[in-house]
Amino acid sequence: MSIHYDLPLRNALEEGILSLIPNTELNGHKTQRLANTTNVTFHGIESEALLILLDQEGICASSGSACLADSDEPSHVIRAMKQEADSSMQSVRFSLGKVTIQDEVQKICSVLLDKVYALRS
């Protein structure tokens, strides 16, 4: 069974992140993937530092794949896709749910812009 209810929100989240925040990169295929999940590399920022700041704002995200949710290890999937060693330590995964709304996507983009700028300063 496919999940398509989140596709427009996932796309809006990706477009917001990639257009607002320089030095970001989508991980994975543009269309052949889950409709409710995105993974982005924030070049020059350790994902754990960004995740702490996002958590303080009530935004839940992860630095690993779902199968490594309880691990501090970088995603083996990102390591396999990316040649750069640092990419797996600079990637953040966002998962959207049935109750996610457009306002929340806009908040995530706004908070990310602020926190990424602070970490890169």
Active site residues: 67
**Backbone dihedral angles phi then psi of residue 40, each to the nearest 5 degrees:** -130, 140
CA–CA separation, 83 and 24 (whole Å): 16
- Contact between residue 27 and residue 40 where contact means Cβ atoms under 8 Å apart: yes
Which two structure tokens, joined as six digits, stand for 98? 């049935």
Structure token pair of residue 4: 């398509």
**CA 95 to CA 46: how far, in whole Å?**
19
CA angle 103, 14, 89 (to 5 degrees): 115
